[in-house]
Structure formats: C-alpha cells, structure tokens
Structure 1
Amino acid sequence: MQFAQEINRDVLCITTLPEMFNRSVFKFGDRRCQWFQTDYSRPEETASLSYSDVYMKVKDISAGLMSLGVKPQDRVSIMAHTCPQWLWSDFGILSTGAITVTIYPSFSVNEMKYIVNDSGSRFIFVRDEEGVQKVEQGFKDMPTLEKAIVMNDNVKLPDSDQFIYLSELMEMGKKYAANHPYAYEKSCDQIKPWDMATIVYTSGTTGNPKGAVHTHHNVMNAMVIDALRFVQSGFNIDEKDVILSFLPLSHTYERQCGQMQTIWTGGTIAYAEQPATVMRDIQIFNPTWFLSVPRIFERIYVAMRDAASKTPESKAGFEKALEIGLKVVDYQTDEEGFVDMSFEHNMSDGLPEDLLKQYEWADTNVFSKVRALLGKNYKFSISASAGLPARLCKIFMAMGVRIFEGYGLTETMNAINFSVARAILPGSMGPEHFFHEVKLAEDGEIIVRGGNVFQGYFNNPEATAEAFDDEGFFHTGDIGTIVHNSKLGLDYYKIIDRKKSIMVLDTGKNVPRSKVEGRFSVAHYIEEVCAVADERKFVTAIIVPKFDHIINTLAEKGIHFDESQMVQMEGITVKVGDDFVNHPEVKKLIDMDVAEANKGLESYETIKKYHISNRAFSPELDEVTPTMKVKTRNVLKNFADEIEALYK
C-alpha cells in the first residue's frame, strides 16, 4: 500500500502535469519508460528509453517550442497515431505552459481545419506522410497555423519552411537552452493548477467536434481518483508493470488512464504497431495490463476461440469448456448478481467436488492455453468507451481473464465509475469514483459534478450552457439505472443507452439500441449491426458480416467467391461482391446469429428483417468514430434506400 500513501502526498504536493512528469523522472530516472519496435517488418526487434532519456527529449522539444515563440496558454495541436513521440510532444507542449489540442489522425482535412481554426493552434505535430499531406492541403485555410512539426525523419517534406522535422525542433531546443539556462524549469514553475492544460475535441456522432477544456487540476484530479480506485480494487500498478498502448492518444482514455497513469507510477509503456496487431504484439512485449474497448475485446475473444477451435475435436472441446466455465460463473455469482474477481480469489474456490473436477479439466486443457495468448505476465485489462456486454464479460470470467470496466466521458476526464474487483456486476460500469457526485436525473440521465469535470467547450458558450444544469451538474447524455450492492454499500450504475439512442416504434414502445446491438457481441458471423426502429412498425438492421471468417468457413465446403470483387485493408477484407451477400449459405449463417441474438430480446425488440452490407462501416464515409463507435445517423443516411426496402 506504499503507493496509496504516496498518493496522499501527491494530492497535496503535485498540482500540474509537468510537475508530475518531472517528479517521476527524478524518482525513476534510469528505469525503462518507453518500449517500442524499431522496424515493423521485423516486429520482434525492439528498443527502449529510460525516464531520463524521455526527459531530455521533452526538454529539447519544450525549448524548441520556446525558440519559436510559444507562450503560456498558446494552443499547439497533435495529430498522430499512438507512438513514443506523441508523449514527448505532449509533455513538451505542456511544459511551456501551452495547451495541447488533440486531433484524431483519422479526421478528414475539413475536420482538421475546423479544430485548428477553432482552437487557434499556432503549431501542429504530425507523424507520417498522410498527416503531412492533410496539413499541406489545408494550410492556406488555417490562418493561425505557423508550422507543422513532423515526427518521422523518413517522411519527405514539402518544399516549404512551414514544415520541419521533430529532430530539427529538438536541435533548435538544445541551442535555445544553451542561451537560456533553466528556461525549462522556470516555465514549469510558472504553470498554475487552474491553467488550461488540454483541449480534447470529441469525435462525436453528430455535428462538428466540440473542444472540452481541461485544466491541470482536472487531469491530476482524475489521476488521483483512478489511482485510489486501483488500490481499492486490489490491482495496484507500479514500476514493475508494463502497459501495452494502442488506442488513440487523441482520446483522454489512453492518454490519461494509460500513459499518464503509467508515467506517474514509474511503469513501462510498450507500443503496439496498431490495434490490428495487438495479439501479435502482446507476445513480443508480454504486458501486465492494457486498456481497450468492447469492439476490440470482441475480436480478442474471437481470436482466442478460433485458436482453440482449429479442428472439429478442439472446437467441441472449447465449447464444452466454455459451457463448464459459465456454470462456474453462475455458481460464483452471489444472490445480488456480483462475482468476486479479486486477485485473492480464483474461480475454482469453493466449488463442489464434481464441478471442481470439470473446471480443472476445462482450465488445464483449454483456458490456460487461450490465456497464454494474452502473454505470460498478463494480470488484467480495463474496458471503457462503451459498455462491455454482460455475456462477453461472463465469457472472459469463465476463462479466468480479468477485465474491469470503467465509465466516463471526454468531458469528465474518464473517471466517473469503475469496477471493484471483489464485486463485479456483469453489464455494469461499477460504483461511482471518489471525490465527485454522481446521480440520476428525473429522466434517468446520469449527471456528475466534481474536480475532474471539464471547464466547458472552447469557444462554445451555448453548448457549455446546455451541458450543465443550475446546480453545476454535467449532463452526460447517458440513461442509466442503479443496482445496489448491500455487502459493500455501493450503488452500481448500468448504462441503458445514450439518451438520443432510445428508438421508439410507431406503437410507442421504447427499444434501447445498445440492447439490440449488444446481443451480437459474441456472434460467430456478424461483425457490426446498426439497428433501425424509430417510428417504424418493427426492428430491422443493417448487418456487416465477418467477411473473412465466412469466406474461410464456406471454403471448407467448397464454396468460393469472386476475389476480384473483394477489397482488403491491412490484410482484412472490408468489401465483397454481390455473389457473397446474395449467397444462400451466407444468409443461413447470418440467420443463425440473428436467431441467437433475438432469444435474449422482448418480442417487440427482435430483428424481423435485415440487409446484409457488402462493405464494412467506413471511417472515410464518417460512419465510425476513431474509438470504433458506429455513427448511427450517418449509417442510416448512407443506407437509406436499403432500409426503406426492408419496410416495403
């Protein structure tokens, strides 16, 4: 509990992010801070940087920005995929007293221009050729932007002094520091807790992004809250831990809960190449923990299931083991629906002899082998951004995999609710965090106020006024319900759906979109579902199949499809031809998944008809957010004709 004692000191002593970073450098100097692949074509080749190494890079970037005239509370943007340089740039910006503005690298040129102009950013960090091209294309329409700083020296720059390499900026910083001794230290010392630290633009599922303003106090408050919840839940993280980082740092989830929390505790940040390579990169870095989102956890489960089901015999063995495991989860579930997943408790504890023998067989022959896919040092994961479906949560429990859930928004710097390990309620986000108030409004909306809640939307007083009520509570837009845990005396929150996502049939019946779509989280053959019901007689859906899985499954039966009609991205099929979507065997597989999903729904909630899409929902068509949430409104617009055909 040493870290818990240090947290109390940090609450009183550390008030800004540069202060936190500098403290960690002083305390953990020679320990490994960042660990990364040096050549993605040979992913097993890695290198690392110590805390002292990272400090020197941050210091050079900070001084380089000062040499360009960056002043306290100036805005500097970062638009890059998750990489070590993102963190250097972030703390380099923050240590000048400036404000880090985050832009998803998947955003379009127009979205980038909007954020740069709305924030008034003077500089922007980008990583790759795509980022350079976007900035070059939009430069003339961004009057406040002075330069783009490119993280990768191998990217060819336009013939313009408006683009420089990060390495050049760092050399400028070395020269500036030589002529301005202690400039870094003086700059860090002048930063106040209530200074703006970051503007995080929400990707949103409707309208232009809104910039949520967080102060240093907001972020440090959220970090203390998370650390205390970690200690309370019994999975303290420290300098021996390794986190695998792969979610976008443009979002507060990976940036604060993952990287900043790791920096504070002296751990190692290992960088996956990209989300699609997570299972491979886990075997390289053997992390102790990582953050993810339900969509990726679904893929991890599918990878584990497929690895254990290579033959008809092994597939039958996996299904038998999972059936036993789910029986064990039911046995371990108390009368209020809670399961002890603490590190002091094993799923085999207290089982009757017969069930114990079955579970020991399942664990030895199946679960231990699929758990190995998460690496030899794996301890736990955290799921957030959307609700982890209860059935998927139970499946991971059955296999002995600990996944804890958290709930928060960009506007709350993540920390609203978090699981308590000794009492997990599948389908719930856990009880409220420390140091703030959470409650349900009269209409069931979750509202919150506290030190981690944002200051408002940048340049948008109207949206800010709409977000808060007269008592200072921020309205999350999520409809929730409460389940009380009498043993702990805590209220657990369940998310029913976004307030704007409750579908209403023409009969007046309410259908939660997430309830319908969530039933497909462990589907065998369906990748994505977008449910349709508003002002309609019944529920229908646009369905994106698991193209590759179906192609491989039917190939075993001698059924093949026209490869010339297929499109792949990063080795994954994202588009197929009409011969695929119209094939009766494909429809038969989709029918099986739909029928299984409908079993858990009320009759009026069940999917009566569906359209099989020949392509995946696309970020390029603005159908998916960078955090992998479906933009329902855009999907409904893009598939309007197909939807109308379902109701004829």
Structure 2
Amino acid sequence: MTRSTIPEVFQQSVEQHGDRTALLHVVGRDYAPVTYNELARRAEQFAFGLLSLGIQPGDRIGVISENRPEWAAADLGMLSIGAVNTPVFTTLPPAQLRYLFRDSGTRLVLVSDAKQLAKMLAIRDDLPDLERLIVLDAQVELPDDGVLRFDAVTPPADAVEELTAERQRRLAALQPDDLASIIYTSGTTGEPKGAMLTHWNFVSNAQAARAVIDVGPADRYLSFLPLNHVFERLVGHYLMLFSGVTVAYAESLFTLPNNMRQVRPTIMAGVPRFYETTAARLHDETRRGPAAKRRVMAWALQVADRWARQVTVRRFPGVSLSLQHWLADKLVYGKVRQTFGGSIRILVSG
C-alpha cells in the first residue's frame, strides 16, 4: 500500500478521469455536472486565494455548510497547501461554534448561507484567531470587509505565477502524516473532543475500502449524509473521487426519494437507522400481504444472506445459489431496488 497524501491521490484521479463528471448538484430543478478537471481547477483557484490571504501550513479553516461542490473544492484546495479542514454540523448553535473554533484556533470559516453567516457574526468578536468569513452562497449580502464571497477568493492576475510555484512547493513538502482535518466528537461526556486525522488516515482507509467495495467510473453515488461526518467524508468524498465515481449531492433528506429517482445511484452510504427504517417499511408491507407473499419474502431474504456470505469474500456462489438469486431478483430484489432509484447495486452502512 503506497503512502500518499490526499492531493496526490486526487490528482492521479484527475489525470485518469479529467473529462468525466465528478460532481452533480441541483441547479433549478435539474442536476448540473462538474467534471474532474473543473473540480481540480476550482480547488486550485481557492488554494491560490488562500495563499494570497496568508494561510500557512497547519492553519485551521472551518466549514459550516451543507454538501455542495464548493465544499469539495474548498477541502481539496486547502489541503493542497497544507491547511487543516475543521468542518462542523450546520445545526450547531453559536455557543457551540464558539467553543469549537476557539479550541481549534481557526483562522477562516466558510459558511454556506445567510443563516450560517448570522451565527458566525454573532460570535466572531469572541474568536481571537478568526480573521475572515467566506460565504459560499453568491446571493448573500456581505456586511463588511471581513466577509468575502467564495468566488472572490482569487489572487491578482499578476500573482498567479508566484502562487503556482508556492503551491507546488507546499504540495512537494506535504507528508502523509501531516494533519488533514480536525473532526469533533458529539461530546457525550463533557465538551466535544477534536479528533486529529492525517492525510494517511484518510488515504489508507480509502485504499482499504477499495479492496472490498468495487466502485469505478461507471458508478453514481448519491451523497446525503453531511460531509463533516467522518464516515461520509471518507466514503462519499475521498473514496468516490479517488475512484472516478460521479458524486451527486441530495438537496435534503426530504427530497431524497426524488433525488434517487433523478440520479439513479448505483451506490449509497447511510447510517444503520436509515436502512432499518427502509427495511421496516418493506417488512410492514409484506406482513399486510397474503401468506404466499410472506413466504417468498422469507425465502428471498435467506437467499440474499447466503449470496452475500459468498460474494463478499469473492467466492463463486455456485450454480444452484446463482439460479435462486436470479429468481429472487425477479420476484423481490428488483422491487427493492426501485426504492433507491432502480440502479442501486451497493449499499454501505457505517
């Protein structure tokens, strides 16, 4: 297993999949694409902007945002110059944000919209290390010079050559054991604790996951868990982008069924409760049906369990089990797939 940094592995993916779609996000009523080349360009431009603002290796940058292309570009851009991503939940109140950003010594905070901006404006005077706020939503009115638009975090044209050289120097100096992110726990006992994760923490886990989760450029992933959560960050962000997968961002949990129909994902990741709720609904429908339907469902579940035990260790299931699985797919599994848009082949739980 080659020890690498996140920017190194992402650049390899860009070189392999440059013109393919990396991200899909809703614009109006439809999904709009962002290619791997475009995502890399946006990350580079943001990195240049951070360099022009004086960001140094090891500096903490906070992110309070829903899943969106700017989140991905900002993460990849800041990591490429040695900065540290400190993402938090959008649901946190100002008092909690004050604690987290003071504890981490955050210099910049990215906010998605007016609601998140208002929370940060209420506490910024209490954060001695905070220098600026950056707003992702271009429609938000900026209150003063201490707040910038994401698209405006770009360097002067005459500084690009110098900044390019500086970014390349930092990329070359970046090590797998350098800090990449601080992710705070939920704080079940006392104040939240910041887990310090290196580039290699993420890359090694992504590489290990690729050995058992067979994904590639033909796949579409629907992201609905928050990217500040380490599970989604690993599976729905790094693993997918390292593998050339197209990542589509759900608008919200409320729009998830419609987004699944639009995207027709081949892979999704969710927490156990998400799958438990889906399974409970299917079992309820089965229990209300005739006895024959209940027997077919019970048989199909047994076949699925036996099948999974074979294919997860890459063992041939055998002719008999393969035929049973084919029949169960026609009778049961295909209908379950429609719940997830019709093309799902992998569901990851974590």
Q: Normalized against structure 1, the TM-score is what?
A: 0.50
- Matched position secondary structure for 2:32: strand
In the alignment, what sits opposite 1:78?
63
**Structure 1: distance between partners of 2:218 and 2:345:** 12
Alignment partners' CA distance in 1, 2:309 and 2:346: 16
Out of 30, 33, 36, the position equivalent to 2:25 is: 36
- Which structure carries more relative contact order (alpha carbon 8 Å, separation 6+)? 2
Query: 2:138 touches 2:149 (CA, 8 Å); kept in 1?
Result: yes
Deviation at 1:27, TM superposition (A): 1.8
Residues 346/254 of structure 1: CA separation in 2 closer, same or farther (3 Å cut): farther
TM superposition shift of 1:153: 0.4
Please report how far the alpha carbon of residue 137 of structure 1 lies from its aligned counterpart in structure 2 after TM superposition: 0.8
Of residues 182-191 and 144-153 in structure 1, the stretch that sits farther from structure 2 once superposed is 182-191
Q: What is the CA distance between 1:345 and its match in structure 2?
A: 4.5
**Equivalent position SS for 1:199:** strand
Aligned to 2:344: 378
Q: Secondary structure at the match of 2:191?
A: coil
**SS at 1:85's partner residue?**
helix
Match of 2:94 in 1: 109
Correspondence for 2:186:
203
Q: Show the counterpart of 2:298.
A: 326
Per the alignment, in what secondary structure is the counterpart of residue 112 of structure 1?
Answer: helix
Conserved? CA contact 2:271–2:349, under 8 Å: yes
Using a 3 Å threshold, how does the CA distance of structure 1 residues 133 and 52 change in structure 2: closer, same or farther?
same
Structure-2 residue corresponding to 1:251: 229
Partner of 2:129, secondary structure, is coil
Q: State whether structure 2 residue 269 is matched by structure 1 residue 291.
A: yes
Q: Do the aligned partners of 1:80 and 1:127 also contact (CA within 8 Å) in 2?
A: yes
Q: 1:223 touches 1:256 (CA, 8 Å); kept in 2?
A: yes
- Is 1:300 matched with 2:278? yes
Counterpart code for 1:22: Q
- Residue type at the aligned position of 1:58: A
Q: What is the letter of the counterpart of residue 117 of structure 2?
A: V
SS for the counterpart of 2:211 is helix
1:276–1:177 CA distance, 2 compared to 1 (3 A) = same
Contact 1:321 1:366 in 2 (8 A): no
Query: What's the offset of the Cα at 1:128?
Result: 1.4
Confirm or deny: 8 A CA contact 2:297 2:332 kept in the other structure.
no
Query: SS at 2:11's partner residue?
Result: helix
Are 2:195 and 1:212 aligned? yes
Does 1:51 pair with 2:36?
yes
Does residue 18 of structure 1 match 2:7?
A: yes
Identity, % of aligned positions: 28
Alignment correspondent of 1:494 = none
1:262 counterpart (229, 240, 251): 240
Is the aligned partner of 1:277 residue 2:249? no
* Structure 2 partner of 1:146: 131
Contact 1:33 1:266 in 2 (8 A): yes
Aligned residue for 2:85? Answer: 100
Distance 1:346 1:99, change over 3 A: farther
Verify the 8 A CA contact 1:35 1:47 in the aligned structure 2. Answer: yes
Range with greater deviation from structure 2 (321-330 or 68-77): 321-330
For this pair of structures, how many residues does the alignment match?
Answer: 348
Question: Structure 2: which amino acid aligns with 1:321?
Answer: K
Computing the radius of gyration from Cα coordinates, the structure with the larger value is 1
Question: Is the 2:60–2:107 Cα contact (8 Å) retained in structure 1?
Answer: yes
Identify the residue that residue 205 of structure 2 maps to in structure 1: 222
What secondary structure does 1:104 align onto?
coil
Q: Which runs of 5+ in 2 are unaligned?
A: none
Structure 2 CA distance for aligned equivalents of residues 85 and 347 of structure 1: 48
Alignment partner of 1:229: what SS?
A: coil
Matches within 5 A, 1:320-469: 320-330=292-302, 339-340=309-310, 342=312, 345=317, 349=321, 360=327, 364=330, 367-384=333-350
Alignment partner of 1:177 is 2:157: no
Which ranges of structure 1 fall in alignment gaps of 5 or more residues?
1-10, 231-235, 385-648
**SS of aligned partner of 1:122:** strand
Residues 118-129 of structure 1: pairs in structure 2 closer than 5 A: 118-129=103-114
Matched, 1:193 2:176: yes
Q: Partner residue of 1:167?
A: 151
Q: Deviations over 1:185-218 (max 9, x none)?
A: 2221121122111111112323211001111122
Secondary structure of the residue that 2:269 maps to in structure 1? strand
RMSD: 2.8
For residues 135 and 320 of structure 2, the distance between their equivalents in structure 1, rounded to whole angstroms, comes to 53
- Report the residue type matching 2:289 in the other structure: A
Structure 2: distance between partners of 1:226 and 1:90: 21
